[in-house]
């Protein structure tokens, strides 16, 4: 799950198919099968010190975890920073997008290596719903000990600190030892005994983090302290509860190349279930869930067949399967006179885009039984900014939506730029998804603080895209063909060429011919069309075409 990569403050079924048609390779991409579209539910607002009329509220920014649904039918979540205190908020939002801030975390008082306040700062992970309808969550630092807090909040905003992590035994250190851990991260998980469990990244008797238990009324216990030996340390995903009553989590190897999946029992026995090689199986696992079939599913950020990570399945007995290798991100050679200086002629490699996206940060199983995940970067959108991907129980991988900056092309309509993170069911047959960035409107004061989107899985808006042929030599033509239903306006997205840039008709064809002066190395390019309906829904589809060789 997404755990807040900016912690250091220091931060429509679009399934590409290749088919042989009359002996010619054609690349297809379509949103028609599931008819998925996107709708902006709320963009988080903050004034940035600019006087505006009417005043803009301090709602907070940088959403964490995923939204949860309360017993009252409203959605609840946390924002990492900003708000009235500048260090995050807890909020309630109605199904129509009306937001109320329930609690704003106070600004801490700081001296070197220590910041303290009463309530903690920068909530990390999401909220978990308790049996009495309240919510539990954590803050990454501050509190009376300076090392974070565990809190409880009711739907009406009554806020209580259940536990404040103690200060370090060593004076004037950034990371030290203590009895109860420091810097909790991720969303707490309810255990088989109805208590709640979580981890800290640092602290404990060895300074390498702890696995802890806390009850809804605040009884706190350290179950085990990590030693740091043989890689024992918490960094990656928070633990999830397996159907065998044990807890499982992912260690990301501090963003090196390996990492592993671990198991912890209720008694605190720690073991490694699977270790990644960083090769075909992937590396740097940072996402893990326990699915209804009793297996674990997760994603890695590196390795795999294309070096951009994998989607995987792992049984509780340690049997590993790679389900999908995310697309490679192609590059093109760019002439860079300024970096090299006149009269040098220099070229550098420029990342482009892919269809899948890269850098998975969240995974969940929805009410429809499918797995949905968010890739934080790339994808086929305009100014590619991540994707929503899906894995079905029968083994089909698809990308229902690719994010990108398109608000300016649709007049007054604005929707988030992208960088999707947490995903949850909306209780109405759709999905709610957080984005780290949002569309910007100077008249409303929005400025890239994140947003909540509703993904509608059965929308009447559809988009279809294909390239024919999908593999061409430099100088050979390929044709982009697209169509849509119930679209009001459309635009081209993905790799931009003079023939496919700017606005597009709701259906049509474009012939593309790449000349040697436009590209300097063989590569695959993702491009397509994005459309908007009269009611503000957005759907898109992209496909790939490949340059086979340089011109002679």
Q: What percent of the chain has pLDDT over 70?
A: 78
Task: Give the pLDDT confidence of 124-176 residue by residue, as tens digits.
Answer: 999 999 999 999 999 999 999 999 999 999 999 999 999 999 999 998 788 89
**Contact (CB, 8 A) for 75 and 69:** yes
β-strands 109-111, 477-485 pairing? unpaired
β-strands 508-513, 121-129 pairing? unpaired
Residues 6+ apart with CB under 8 A from 53: none
Closest to 416 (Cα-Cα) out of 141, 163, 39, 63:
39
Q: Look at residue 102 in the predicted model and tell me its pLDDT.
A: 98
Q: Domains along the chain?
A: 105-230 (2.120.10.30), 464-547 (2.60.40.2470)
Task: Give the pLDDT confidence of 431-474 residue by residue, as tens digits.
Answer: 999 988 765 444 344 446 888 989 887 667 888 999 999 888 87
Range list of H helices, 142-226: none
> Is the model's pLDDT at 27 over the cut of 50?
no
Task: Give the pLDDT confidence of 260-294 residue by residue, as tens digits.
Answer: 999 999 999 999 999 999 999 999 998 999 999 99
**DSSP result, 258-325:** --EEEEE-TT--EEEEEE--SSTT-EEEEEEEE-TTS-EEEEEEEBSTTSB-EEEEE-TT--EEEEEE
β-partners of residue 527 are 494, 543
Closest to 62 (Cα-Cα) out of 51, 42, 78, 38:
78
Q: Which of 122-136, 324-338, 398-412, 414-428 has the lowest mean pLDDT?
A: 398-412
At residue 24 the predicted structure's pLDDT band, cuts being 50, 70 and 90, is very low
CA distance 500 to 497: 5
Q: Which pTM does this prediction carry? A: 0.81
Q: Look at residue 544 in the predicted model and tell me its pLDDT.
A: 81
Query: How is the beta sheet containing 135-141 ordered, strand by strand?
Result: 121-129, 135-141, 149-153, 159-164
**Contact (CB, 8 A) for 122 and 148:** no
The larger pLDDT score, comparing residue 531 to residue 384, is at 531
Task: Give the pLDDT confidence of 341-388 residue by residue, as tens digits.
Answer: 544 455 555 556 788 888 899 999 998 899 999 998 877 655 668 889
Q: Look at residue 53 in the predicted model and tell me its pLDDT.
A: 56
Structure tokens at 51: 């006087």
β-strands 75-81, 89-93 pairing? antiparallel
């Amino acid at each position: 799950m997404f755990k807040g990569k900016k912690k250091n403050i220091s931060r429509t079924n679009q399934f590409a198919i290749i088919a042989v048609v009359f002996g010619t390779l054609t690349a297809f991409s379509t949103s028609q099968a599931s008819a998925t579209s996107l709708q902006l539910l709320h963009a988080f607002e903050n004034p940035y010190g600019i006087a505006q009329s009417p005043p803009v509220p301090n709602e907070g920014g940088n959403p964490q975890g995923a939204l949860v649904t309360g017993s009252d039918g409203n959605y609840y979540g946390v924002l990492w920073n900003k708000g009235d205190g500048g260090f995050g908020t807890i909020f309630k939002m109605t199904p129509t997008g009306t937001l109320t801030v329930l609690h704003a975390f106070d600004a801490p008082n700081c001296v070197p290596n220590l910041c303290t306040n009463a309530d903690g700062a920068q909530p990390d992970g999401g909220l978990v719903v308790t049996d009495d309808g309240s919510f539990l969550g954590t803050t990454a630092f501050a509190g009376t000990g300076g090392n974070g807090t565990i809190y409880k909040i009711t739907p009406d905003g009554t806020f209580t600190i259940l536990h404040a992590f103690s200060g370090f035994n060593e004076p004037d250190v950034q990371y030290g030892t203590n009895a109860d851990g420091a810097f909790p991260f991720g969303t707490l998980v309810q255990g088989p005994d109805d208590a709640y469990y979580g981890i800290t990244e640092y602290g404990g008797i060895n300074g390498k983090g702890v696995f802890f238990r806390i009850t809804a009324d605040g009884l706190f216990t350290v179950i085990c302290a990590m030693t740091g030996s043989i890689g024992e340390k918490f960094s990656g995903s928070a633990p999830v509860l397996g159907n065998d009553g044990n807890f499982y989590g992912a260690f990301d190897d501090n963003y090196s190349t390996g990492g592993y999946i671990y198991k912890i029992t209720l008694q605190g026995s720690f073991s490694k279930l699977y270790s990644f090689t960083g090769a075909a199986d992937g590396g740097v696992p940072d996402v893990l869930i326990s699915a209804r079939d009793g297996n674990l599913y997760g994603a890695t950020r590196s390795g795999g067949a294309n070096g951009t990570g994998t989607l995987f399945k792992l049984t509780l007995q340690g049997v590993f399967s790679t389900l999908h290798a995310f697309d490679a991100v192609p590059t093109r050679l760019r002439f860079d006179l300024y970096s090299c200086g006149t009269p040098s002629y220099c070229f550098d490699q420029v990342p482009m885009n892919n269809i899948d996206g890269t850098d998975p940060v969240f995974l969940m199983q929805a009410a429809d039984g499918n797995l949905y995940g968010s890739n934080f970067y790339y994808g086929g959108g305009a100014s590619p900014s991540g994707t929503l991907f899906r894995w079905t129980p029968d083994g089909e991988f698809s990308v229902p939506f690719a994010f990108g900056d398109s608000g300016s092309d649709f007049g007054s309509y604005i929707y988030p730029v992208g960088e999707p993170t947490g995903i949850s069911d909306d209780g109405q047959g759709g999905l709610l998804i957080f984005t780290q960035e949002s569309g910007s409107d100077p008249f409303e004061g929005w400025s890239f603080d994140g947003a909540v989107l509703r993904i509608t899985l059965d929308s009447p808006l559809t988009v279809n895209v294909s390239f024919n042929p999908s593999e061409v030599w430099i100088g050979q033509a390929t044709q982009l063909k697209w169509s849509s239903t119930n679209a009001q306006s459309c635009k081209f997205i993905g790799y931009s060429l003079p023939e496919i840039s700017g606005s597009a008709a709701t259906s049509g064809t474009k012939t593309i011919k790449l000349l040697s002066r436009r590209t300097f190395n063989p590569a695959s390019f993702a491009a397509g069309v994005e459309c908007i309906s009269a009611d503000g829904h957005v759907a898109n589809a992209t496909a790939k075409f490949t340059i086979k060789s340089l011109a002679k």
